[in-house]
Amino acid sequence: MAAGVRLARRRRAPGPPAARPTAEPHGPPTAPAARETRTEPRRKAPPPAPVAEADREADEARKKEAYRQKKEAEHEERERRRLEREEEERLAREAAERAAREEAEARARAAAEEHRKAEAEGGKTLAAGLAKTRSGFMARLSGLFGGGRPVDDSVLAELEEVLFTADIGVKTATHLLESAREKVRRRELSDAGRLRAVLREDIARILSLDGGATADGASGSPGPARPWVIMVVGVNGSGKTTTIGKLAARLNAAGHKVLLAAGDTFRAAAGEQLEVWAGRVGVPIVRGKDGADPASVCFEAVQRGVAEKADVVVCDTAGRLHTKAPLMEQLKKVKRVMAKAAPGAPHEVLLVLDATNGQNAIAQARQFHEALGVTGLVLTKLDGTAKGGVVIGICDELHLPVRYVGVGETVADLRPFSPAEFVEALFA
C-alpha cells in the first residue's frame, strides 16, 4: 500500500514542473486564442437550437446577475461612504460640542477664580476672620475628638474644662456639657468623633436661635418700613462708627438710598469720622453742632429721611461707659424722639459688641437690651481675637439675632451673619 502511494506520487510529481515552462511564456497572450478556440466549435458546428437557447438564457442570467451584483456592490459602496460620511460628521459634531463644553467650563472656572480673588481682595472670609478662635478653644476641643477614643468620664471632664475656660459663658458651657452627658447616658455617643458632631449640632441650633434667626433683617437687608431707621448703639470703641460706614457702603451698593446721622455729638472726632465715611461711600449725612443734643440730630435725620424718601437712615450714637446711668437715659431719649419723626422708628436697635471683650460683651448686651430693647447684634473684631466663641454665649443667653460680624477694618470686612457659615468656619 505504502509503496503504491509512493510510486504514484513519484509518477505524478514530474508533471507540473514539466508543464510550467511551456505554459508560462504563453500565459496572458494565449487568453484570446483560448477564447477563440472555445467559441470556434460553436460557430463551426451549429449546436441544436434548444441548447443554444439555454446557453443564451444562461448567459443573459449571468449578465443580469453580474449587473445585479455590480449594482449591489455600488449600492453597498455608496451606503458605506454615506455611513463613513455620517460617522465623520458625528465625530466632528461631537468634537465641536466637546470644545464648546470645555470652553464654557474654562469660562466658568475663570469666573469662579475672579470671584474668589475679588472676595479675597474685597474682604476677609469668615473662615479667615475666625482663624484665632479656631486655634484657641476650638483647637483644644478638637484635641478631644481624635483617635476614635471612647467617650468616658475623662473625656467629659476634659470637655468641661475646655468649655468653661472658653469665652462662651458659664450658662452656655453648662448647656453644651449637659447635652453631651445626656447623650452619653442614653448611649448615643459611641466615640469622641461623634461628640464633635453632637457639639456642632448643638452650637448650630443655638446660633440659629432655634430657627428664629431668619427674622427681619437677618439677611442684612432693610425691613419693609420706609425709611427703615436703624439706631446703632454700643460702648465707645466697640466699632459703631466703623460698622455704620461699612453698612452704608453695603446698603448703598445694594441700591438703597442711605442717609447717615452723626448722633455721637459727645466727641467732635466722632462726627468727623462719620463724615469721612459718608464722603467715601457717597451718601448724605446730618451733623449737628458739636455738643448739640443727639436726640435733635437724630430727629432731624429721620425727618429728612422721610421728606427725601430715603430707604434707610442709620444713626450713630455716643457710647460713654454704659455703666453710667446718663448714657442709657440719653439713648432712651434719642430712641423716643426718633419715633416722633417717623412712627415705628427706630425699626432696628443694633447693638455693636467688641468680640475681644469676651464675656464682658455678654454683660454689656444684657444692660443695653434692658434699657433699649435691642433687636439685633453686630460682633466686631472677630479677626483680632480667640474669643469668637462669645457669639455662641450671646445667642444662647440673650436670644438676640446676630446680624453682622466684623472681621477686619476695611469696608468689605462686614459680613452678614449666617449661623451655618459660622459653624462651618468654626469647625473647619
232 closest CA partner among 366, 404, 394, 388: 404
Given a contact cutoff of 8 angstroms between Cβ atoms, the answer to whether 316 and 246 are in contact is no
CA 120, 203, 403, 218 dihedral sign is positive
Q: Footprint of ligand GDP on residues 343-362 (CB under 6 A)? A: 352
Whose Cβ is closer to ligand GDP: residue 151's or residue 331's?
A: 331
* CA contacts within 13 A on the Cβ side of 283: 32
Strands (E), 309-417: 312-315, 348-354, 376-380, 402-406, 414-416
- Pick the binder of ligand GDP from 70, 81, 340, 399 (CB under 6 A): 340
- Cα 279 to chain centroid distance, Å, stands at 34
Q: Does 262 bind ligand GDP (CB under 6 A)?
A: no
Given a contact cutoff of 8 angstroms between Cβ atoms, the answer to whether 389 and 137 are in contact is yes
- Cα 82 to chain centroid distance, Å, stands at 48
Q: Does 409 bind ligand GDP (CB under 6 A)?
A: yes
d(CA 231, CA 264): 11
Cell digits of residue 285: 449725612
The piece of 45-53, 131-139, 206-214, 401-409 that touches ligand GDP (CB under 6 A) is 401-409
Per-position x/- string for 206-235, each x denoting binding to ligand GDP as judged by CB under 6 A, each - no binding: ----------------------------x-
Per-position x/- string for 241-270, each x denoting binding to Mg ion as judged by CB under 5 A, each - no binding: x----------------------------x
- Pick the binder of ligand GDP from 131, 337, 395, 426 (CB under 6 A): 337
Q: Which residue is nearest to Mg ion (CB)?
A: 241
Whose Cβ is closer to ligand GDP: residue 189's or residue 374's?
A: 374
Minimum gap (Å) between residue 183 Cβ and Mg ion: 45
- Pick the binder of ligand GDP from 221, 236, 252, 410 (CB under 6 A): 236
What secondary structure letter does DSSP report for 214?
G
Q: Footprint of Mg ion on residues 201-240 (CB under 5 A)? A: 240
Q: Which does 380 bind (CB under 5 to 8 A by kind): Mg ion, ligand GDP, none?
A: ligand GDP
Number of residues that this document lists for the chain: 428
For strand 402-406 and strand 376-380, is the pairing parallel, antiparallel, or unpaired?
parallel
Q: Does 240 bind ligand GDP (CB under 6 A)?
A: yes
Q: Which does 237 bind (CB under 5 to 8 A by kind): ligand GDP, Mg ion, none?
A: ligand GDP
Minimum gap (Å) between residue 269 Cβ and Mg ion: 8
Number of residues that bind ligand GDP (CB under 6 A): 27
Whose Cβ is closer to Mg ion: residue 175's or residue 381's?
A: 381
Q: Which CA distances in Å does 101 have to 86, 104, 247, 363?
A: 22, 5, 40, 57
Q: Footprint of ligand GDP on residues 36-75 (CB under 6 A)? A: none
The CB-based long-range contact list for 137-142 (8 Å cut-off, 24+ gap) reads 137/162, 137/165, 137/166, 137/167, 137/168, 137/386, 137/389, 138/389, 138/426, 138/427, 140/166, 141/196, 141/199, 142/196
What secondary structure letter does DSSP report for 46?
P
Q: Does 330 bind Mg ion (CB under 5 A)?
A: no
As a whole number of Å, the end-to-end CA separation of the chain is 96
For strand 228-233 and strand 258-261, is the pairing parallel, antiparallel, or unpaired?
unpaired
Given a contact cutoff of 8 angstroms between Cβ atoms, the answer to whether 130 and 388 are in contact is yes
- Pick the binder of ligand GDP from 227, 263, 389, 406 (CB under 6 A): 406
Q: Which does 295 bind (CB under 5 to 8 A by kind): ligand GDP, Mg ion, none?
A: ligand GDP
The piece of 11-19, 71-79, 323-331, 334-342 that touches ligand GDP (CB under 6 A) is 334-342
CA 84, 86, 89, 90 dihedral sign is negative
Number of residues that bind Mg ion (CB under 5 A): 3
Per-position x/- string for 273-312, each x denoting binding to ligand GDP as judged by CB under 6 A, each - no binding: --------------------x-xx--x-------------
Q: Does 333 bind ligand GDP (CB under 6 A)?
A: yes
Minimum gap (Å) between residue 414 Cβ and Mg ion: 15
Binding interface with ligand GDP (CB under 6 A): 234, 236-242, 293, 295-296, 299, 319, 333, 336-337, 340, 352, 380-381, 383-384, 406-409, 413
Binding interface with Mg ion (CB under 5 A): 240-241, 270
